Amino acid sequence: MTSPRPRPEVLQISPYVGGEATLEGMNRVYKLSSNEGAFGVPPGAQDAYRRLAGELYRYPDGSALDLRRAIGARFGLDPARIVCGSGSDDLIYQLCLAYGGPGRDILMTEHGFSIYHIAGTYAGSRVIKTPERNLTADVDAILAAVSPSIRLCFLANPNNPTGSMLPYEEVARLRAGLPQEVLLVLDAAYAEYVERPDYDPGIRLVNATDNTVMTRTFSKIFGLGGMRIGWAYGPPAVIDVFNRVRPPFNVSIAAQGAAIAALAEPGWVEKGRAHNSEYRPKLAAALTAVGIKVWPSEGNFVLADFATADRAAAADAHMRRRGVIARQVGGYGLPQCLRITVGNVEEVQVVIDALAEFMTEPGS
Ligand SMILES: *Cc1c(COP(=O)(O)O)cnc(C)c1O
């Protein structure tokens, strides 16, 4: 018997491992494994979701026009150059399938976001990882890896799981050094958290070139990871490609309504950003004070470095006994590290207490 088989490269893909959500035998769990916003779902988005329940027999607006208008108004962008997706992952897949493929290869950095590797391999591309420097993308190393087969280059800025970012000047230098026919994808999932003045999420380069696209998400600061909404801003030709290949109803009625309401929630982003700017340094300083190395981060998470994989595993086990779920990042080539979301005030304190206790344990 021969059974149906996919293209061989499909079976080379390791399934995406998301942050865990439950712990056996624990009733109070602190889930700090997926970088979800610290304040839950915006109240207006919850109202919109309930209000839309009676509309769900209708197909959604496949062009998500009202949502694109709301995004455009919020960020000062032309709605005609925006496309929405079922999370930004959806849009990353579409880009890989449309611009990648056999003989059309993809660049990403060593510890870059794993979806690029999964979606690129699925498309049939070779996905080439370039070395980083201090867990930060290295523009020279990316440019050195360019060859005639490269068609796409992904850069998460800031990157997950490292938290590192490139300033605008470096991203512009990357763009200038890449061949014209390479589409540069700037994944700015954490843009709203960044406070450095030398940062640009990608809008400037999208406006200045015709081969750069920016992806964004409602899954992080906007608190809607469970609704699955992301968007991309790009040149008209790239938006045209998206609209040919994406599933026509890829954003549900509930998701569109919730996202519009989240954008309208007064002070929501400011509150999330202010909390993060206060508590990320507090978390980092407290961990540093007990002897844990913490990498600089521009996102709503920190990367704690325990020097060895065994030590990271022990720290993880200790946190789990206290109900804290962090994210193991061995799959990102960082087995000595754990990524920990900056949660609410209580959650941050629970992490600090658990890791302080771990570091002072006899034999630790
Ligand atoms: C969380 C995250 C995303 C968002 O994915 P969605 O599919 O929009 O939920 C994209 N890129 C990076 C780097 C992320 O960390």
The answer to whether residue 364 scores a pLDDT higher than 60 is: no
pLDDT recorded at residue 27:
85
Percent share of the chain, pLDDT over 90:
95
The answer to whether residue 293 scores a pLDDT higher than 80 is: yes
Band of residue 18 on the pLDDT scale cut at 50, 70, 90: confident
Helices (H), the chain: 43-51, 65-75, 87-99, 114-123, 139-144, 168-177, 203-208, 236-245, 253-264, 268-289, 309-321, 345-360
**Residues 5-24: what's their mean pLDDT?**
89
The answer to whether residue 313 scores a pLDDT higher than 70 is: yes
Which residue, judged by its Cα, is nearest atom 6 of ligand 1? Answer: 87
**Within the chain, which residue ranges are assigned CATH 3.40.640.10?**
43-264
- How far apart are the CA of 216 and the centre of ligand 1, in A? 8
| CATH number of the domain located at residue range(s) 43-264 in this protein | 3.40.640.10
**Residues 216-242: what's their mean pLDDT?**
98
Strands 105-109 and 82-85: unpaired
SS3 content of the chain, % helix, strand, coil (to 5): 45, 15, 40
**Residues 197-225: what's their mean pLDDT?**
98
The answer to whether residue 129 scores a pLDDT higher than 80 is: yes
**Within the chain, which residue ranges are assigned CATH 3.90.1150.10?**
8-40+268-359
Q: CA–CA separation, 291 vs 89, rounded Å?
A: 36
Q: Which of 15-24, 61-70, 221-230, 234-243 has the lowest mean pLDDT?
A: 15-24
Q: Which atom of ligand 1 is nearest to the CA of 229?
A: 8
For 14-85, strand residue ranges (E) read 30-31, 82-85
pLDDT in tens, 19-65: 888 888 888 999 999 999 999 999 999 999 999 999 999 999 999 99
Coil vs helix vs strand at 137:
strand
Coil vs helix vs strand at 105:
strand
pLDDT recorded at residue 362:
62
CATH class as words, domain 8-40+268-359? alpha beta
**Residues 136-148: what's their mean pLDDT?**
98
Which residue, judged by its Cα, is nearest atom 14 of ligand 1? Answer: 189
pLDDT in tens, 77-104: 999 999 999 999 999 999 999 999 999 9
Band of residue 363 on the pLDDT scale cut at 50, 70, 90: low
Q: CA–CA separation, 191 vs 202, rounded Å?
A: 9
Give, for ligand 1, the residue of 83, 86, 92, 115 to mutate: max count of ligand atoms closer than 8 Å to Cβ.
Answer: 115
What secondary structure letter does DSSP report for 38? T
